[in-house]
Structures are given as C-alpha cells and as structure tokens.
Amino acid sequence: MADANGFVEALKKAARDEREASKPVSIYFGEVVSRKPLKINVEQKMILGEQQLILTRNVTDYMTPVTVQWETGTGTLTDGKTTAYPAHVHALEGKKNFLMHNALEKGDLVILLRQQAGQKFVVLDRIGGAP
C-alpha cells in the first residue's frame, strides 16, 4: 500500500510539473525591500535576491547618448530678468552621454516575469505611481 501511495504522489507531481512547464511565463508583482543588496518581496510570499533577478534597462542606471544644442551662461533670475555672462557663454552641441537614473529604490513596486521552470525573474518595470 505504501508503494501505491508513493506512486500516486509521483504521478500527481509529474502532472503538476507538466502543467507548470507548459506555461511560458508567469507574471508576478513585487516591492523593493532593499536597494543594496537588491531584494524584492514578491506577492508577500518570497524574497528574491540579486542572484535570482534579471534587470532590464528600465530598472537600472545607464548611460545613453543624447543630441544637445544649447548655450551656456544665460539664465533667468528669480526677479524675472535674463542675465548673460559673456565670459562664460559658449555653445554646447553634438552627441553627449547622459546618465539616466533608473535604478530601483526601496518601496518601488515592480512587475516581474518568471522564467519557465526556473528560479530567475525578469524585472520588467515599475508599476503604479512609482516615479
């Protein structure tokens, strides 16, 4: 009888595993509970650490080229007057690299995809009212 129970449990597990494997991805929601080291609490059920997370550019700091065209040394004072500092006025033009500050912060709400039959989660983006 013990062998029959073990066999039935093995069949149930195989069926569960097959159903799980047929899902290409699973969507989860989480909250960043720590920035360094990065930890995300997923649906109040588990805490994921850096080793389990794959971060997209949407949730990391990154450099990106930007084309700019402006002149330095001019500005508007608080009284509404425009001022220029001729010794410092010069054009700033061309392609420049800018740092985009997108890294996750504690309290950010995120959407994640779990890899099929894996323990890795792709952090797609922030959700809700998070900046």
C-beta separation of 112 from 40 below 8 A: yes
> 46 falls in which pLDDT band (50, 70, 90)?
very high
Cis peptide before 37 (omega within 30 of 0): yes
Count of alpha carbons within 13 Å of 74, Cβ hemisphere only? 7
For 73-97, the pLDDT digits (tens) are 655 555 666 665 555 677 778 899 9
**Verdict on whether the full-model pTM lies above 0.85:** no
Higher pLDDT, 94 or 3: 94
The residues that bridge with 110 in the sheet, in sequence order, are: 30, 126
By three-state DSSP, how is residue 120 classified?
coil
48 and 111 fall within a common domain: yes
Which of the two residues, 8 and 26, has the higher pLDDT score?
Answer: 26
Instruction: Provide CB contacts within 8 A for 125, sequence distance 6+.
Output: 56, 58, 59, 110, 111
Q: Which CATH number fits the domain that encloses residue 34?
A: 2.40.50.140
Under the banding of pLDDT at 50, 70 and 90, the label for residue 70 is confident
Mean of pLDDT values over 52-57: 95
Query: Do residue 93 and residue 121 come from a single domain?
Result: no
